[in-house]
Amino acid sequence: MVRDEWAVADAYEAYIGRWSRRVAPLFLRWLGLPTGLRWLDVGCGTGALTEAVRAAGGVVSGVDPSRGFVAGRGSVVVGDARALPFRAGRFDAVVSGLALNFVPDAGRALAEFARVSVPGATVAAYVWDYAEGMAMLRLFWDAAREVDPDSPHEGPRFALCHPGPLADLWRAAGLSDVRVEPIEIATDFPDFDAYWTPFLGGQGAAPAYLMSLPEQARVAVREALRARLPERDIRLTARTWAVRGIT
């Protein structure tokens, strides 16, 4: 299995971070929390959700394991979701966008989310629906398996990214009033190159896998994808599953 890469902020932003920026305000609207709360964004990455919280009137701190993503952002610290570097009972809302499925022990992370929350706080997250609802990635992996039958598959890998497992995880952490709902966005590209080029940045599971291949195999994946997509005006959709509960 190729190791996921999370270090170069600009490459990640071009690949998937920009789509998270479209989901983040919809996620906050779904939560419907008042302004002025103290928020923690766990796995904050390049700041899509952090910035949306701040724009909506929240006071937000962030934590992420990638020094490359955290660099130069004063309200963000390097840290592990499984051992958050904050005291207990500090935050009114703890959230995570597109990150929880990459944590090796999501249950331990969620226990940490609850630990640093005040009683009655909202604990919430959203993750891509890798198995069915993330068309740009599903097409990529279909093409990759045509070239390399042993290529990984993010659907089975991220079994957490379904309504049932997310709800079960939240309830197992002792959270109440648990709800899971889909949030869907458009992921449109003006032409094939706009779709393909971000995969060459090496940041994230699919780009890391692609860049591990020899050049001939990368070209074969590109051509297998080209056969599946129009040359211009590519219109796809991406679904996340959003989950929330109360401490």
CA distance 17 to 85: 24
Q: How sure is the predictor about 95, in pLDDT bands with cuts at 50, 70 and 90?
A: very high
pLDDT of residue 71: 63
Number of C-beta neighbours around residue 21 at 10 A: 17
Task: Identify the CA nearest to 232 among candidates 178, 191, 187.
Answer: 191
Mean pLDDT over each residue of the chain, to the nearest integer: 91
Q: Which ranges of the chain does DSSP label H, i.e. alpha helix? A: 9-12, 18-31, 48-55, 67-70, 106-115, 135-147, 154-157, 163-172, 192-196, 205-212, 215-226
Residue ranges of the domains in the chain?
9-246
Q: Strand order in 76-78's β-sheet?
A: 76-78, 59-64, 38-42, 91-97, 117-128, 232-246, 176-191
Per-residue pLDDT, 125: 98
| Model confidence pLDDT, tens digit, residues 179-231 | 999 999 999 999 999 999 999 987 888 898 999 999 999 999 999 999 999 99
pTM given for the model: 0.88
Q: CA-to-CA distance for 188 and 190, rounded, in angstroms?
A: 7
* Residue-wise pLDDT tens digits, 55-86: 999 999 999 998 877 766 768 899 999 999 99
> What SS3 state is found at 99?
coil
Which CATH superfamily does the domain covering 9-246 fall into?
Vaccinia Virus protein VP39 (3.40.50.150)
